[in-house]
Amino acid sequence: MGELAFKGEVIDWKNSVLLFDKRKGVTSYKAIEEAGRLLGTRKIGHSGTLDRAASGLLVICTGSATRLTQYFLGSDKRYTATIRLGTVTDTDDGEGAVIETRDAAHIDERMIGEALKVFLGSIKQRAPLYSALKIRGKRASDRARMGQEVPLKERDIRIDSIDILSMDGERKSVVLDVRCSKGTYIRSLARDLGEKLGTGAFLEDLRRTESGRFRVEDAASIEDLQEIVGSGTEAPACRIGPFDALESFGFIAVSADARRKVLNGAAFDRSEAVEIRGGAGTIYCIGDDGKNLFAIADMDIDNWTIRYLNVFNEPLH
């Protein structure tokens, strides 16, 4: 089931970048395992975990394309978060035990907006006690469940914007649109907002809507994938070609002779470059006509030096 035809084109699911819409209630590991079985591949990974209680965008890579995950890991993220005021849980989300309740009847949208201002920009943030962060080789959540002390240091993160989308005055819940850096815990933002307001708070619902340039609107749920794989009637928007996925990189198209050198990890001459397009930095995708990716390299174009980062013996397309 690894390859299917769409409008005359063969889609290689075993070497793909796939936008996947994870449902709430399953771990990221379980979600991609289900996707892998459906697509007929065991080699599968993702570039940024979502909590079990969260839903939304996972950027999945399969087969040889799993080597691309490193280029997506540092991407900025965007979330829609529902925060419930007046209640504190031990996990900072709705899955944990309630450890305290406080009065939040006096809180209005203006007060929330003012409180949120302190979280904008480059700030320090402490991860939730129950998190996947490793403490001396073991997850913080595992240590917490064993009753061990979990020393969590504050980490540098960045929050670019927080917009209030709506507020339910009766439930004392607020829905936020958050744009932030990799490594930002929205559960921590909910906890810290509650402390700032003096009411306590927890993250009631979370959905990742963007990761880098990728959007959840283009992603496929597990049900969508079942339909796409079963029907084979149209090219899916959820499957991203390698050059589109790495569009911020430069591009070099090479001749047939240079291709053999590239696939052997050898340098090629500038004269063998058919086309050169600059990107945002020194990283270049090396391929033929933009359809097949042979390698990714760190290059000094002026002095023509090549340091290969990845070479794909089986070109990605």
Q: What is the CATH number of the domain that holds 293?
A: 2.30.130.10
The total number of residues shown for the chain amounts to 317
Q: Mean pLDDT of all residues in the chain? A: 88
pLDDT tops 80 at residue 216: yes
Mean pLDDT of 255-283: 92
Residue 230 maps to which CATH number? Answer: 3.30.70
pLDDT tops 60 at residue 36: yes
User: How many distinct structural domains can be found in the chain?
Assistant: 3
**Dist CA 97 CA 90 (whole Å):** 6
User: Residue 36, SS3?
Assistant: helix
Q: Is the pTM here over 0.75, yes or no?
A: yes
DSSP state of 117: G
* 167 plus 229 within the same structural domain: no
* 86 plus 149 within the same structural domain: yes
- Whether residue 269 contacts residue 41, with contact meaning beta carbons closer than 8 Å, is answered with no
Closest C-alpha among 305, 301, 311, 261 to residue 279:
301
pLDDT tops 80 at residue 314: yes
* 86 plus 186 within the same structural domain: yes
Place of tokens 């490193």: 70
* 259 plus 307 within the same structural domain: yes
Domain hosting residue 49, numbered range: 3-75+213-240
Cα–Cα distances in Å, from 222 out to 122, 238, 247?
Answer: 36, 12, 26
Q: Which amino acid is at 184?
A: T
Place of tokens 């084109």: 9
pLDDT above 70 as % of the chain: 87
Q: Is residue 129 very low, low, confident or very high in pLDDT (cuts 50, 70, 90)?
A: confident
**Number of helical (H) and strand (E) elements in the chain, helices listed first:** 7, 21
* 207 plus 218 within the same structural domain: no
* 203 plus 219 within the same structural domain: no
- The pLDDT tens digits for 140-182 are 555 556 555 566 688 999 999 999 999 999 999 999 999 999 9
* 198 plus 274 within the same structural domain: no
- The pLDDT tens digits for 221-234 are 999 988 888 776 55
Q: Just list the catalytic residues.
A: 51
* 86 plus 176 within the same structural domain: yes
